[in-house]
Structure 1
Amino acid sequence: MTSGVKNRTRQAIIDAAIDLLAGNPACSLGDIAAAAQVGRTTLHRYFAERADLLAAVGAEGGERLVRAATLADLERGTGAEALLRLCREYFDLGSLLSLMFSGQGGECWDSQDEQFLVRVIERGHNDGSIDPQLPADWVLSLLWSQLYAAWAYLGERKDSSRHQVLDLLTRTLANALAPGRS
């Protein structure tokens, strides 16, 4: 029972850190503790230093990215279909990915991690579902920029639902990746 409470408390601190640091990389540990609904002393029992918390955020980030790729079932369907499924899974990781791209997310991603995405894009080139004139690094930039645009749009437009913005995102990417467009 005690280890379950400890795990939930630790997870609450990490989740709060991801959410707050994504919006304000300079937020204090006190702010994170308050958002996790724990005292600052409790936070320090789990994470003695800010660096320890960032390392835990990085580890959590890596787990969430792997889980998203697994849920996207990247081996199924065309390259474009797989990329769009992954985009849907990544959409719900907005705070984590924003944090990661700001350089505050710890070591949850490196250039080798993008290789699985490059393979999906190359599969799309080969199966004709992704315009072969679009280099893989361009498609990756397009993916990340459109995810960012979708998160920003959702945050700014209180009258738009998650579902509507996700539809806009996948429609935009599908059209941008489609072969035969000039």
Structure 2
Amino acid sequence: MTSTENPRAGVRARTRGAILRAAATVLAHDRNAPLSAVAEAAEVGRSTLHRYFPDREVLLAATYQEALSEIGRVMDEAEVEKGSALEAMRRVVAAHVEVGDWVVFAFGDTANEVFDDAPAATDPEPDLLTNLVRRGQEEGVFDPEADPAWVVQVLWALVFTGLERAERGQMPRHAVAPTVVRTLERGICAPG
């Protein structure tokens, strides 16, 4: 019997997913939040949480890996290689805002680096993004004098700032991507 045929396997996968989503949300905003807060957000008992993740480190590592998976999924859906660089950059911003809690959890705390199987130098997403900036420079839509790595760092800073403001109730979540795009474009687009 495959896991798709086994109803218990489906329940386990949904419960595990709910715990990981709750962990990303809760721990993105308070790395030291008690695991009881994660269990409550996942709508499971603490004993259930511990059956899936016996301790905090195991939960953090699994949440980090799931965050990378979710970010990778939306980046694939953004189809960065298609269309103009400007449109692709807009899709990248929207993709990262869509999975905002995963982004904040994964990259908002350098402590997560211990869970990273691939060193940052080999991480394909920054290469994908710096190449996107270079493509925009070649297309004449991004400032040719802007350092692509700098632009990517600015992109992350803007996304984080937007997500933080939305979390604090200082702007609606749906306004984050357009605000980031507008700010980014006015800062990196070629003059003219």
**1:63-104 deviations in whole A, cap 9, x for unaligned?**
111111111111112223212210111012222222222135
Question: What aligned pairs does 1:21-170 form with structure 2 within 5 A after superposition?
Answer: 21-101=27-107, 102-105=109-112, 106-107=115-116, 110-113=120-123, 114-157=126-169, 160-170=171-181
Structure 2: 5+ residue stretches without partners: 1-6
Pair 1:139–1:108, CA change in 2 (3 A):
farther
Pair 1:35–1:164, CA change in 2 (3 A):
closer
Q: Which has the higher contact order (CA 8 A, sep 6+)?
A: 1
Number of residue equivalences: 180
Cα distance in structure 2, aligned partners of 1:31 and 1:115: 36
Aligned to 2:18: 12
Cα distance in structure 1, aligned partners of 2:55 and 2:164: 31
CA positional deviation for 1:152: 2.2
Calculate the TM-score normalised by the size of structure 2: 0.85
Name the Cα RMSD after superposition: 1.9
SS in 2 for 1:173: helix
Calculate the TM-score normalised by the size of structure 1: 0.90
CA positional deviation for 1:153: 2.4
Cα distance in structure 1, aligned partners of 2:158 and 2:121: 19
Counterpart of 2:116 in structure 1: which amino acid? Answer: E
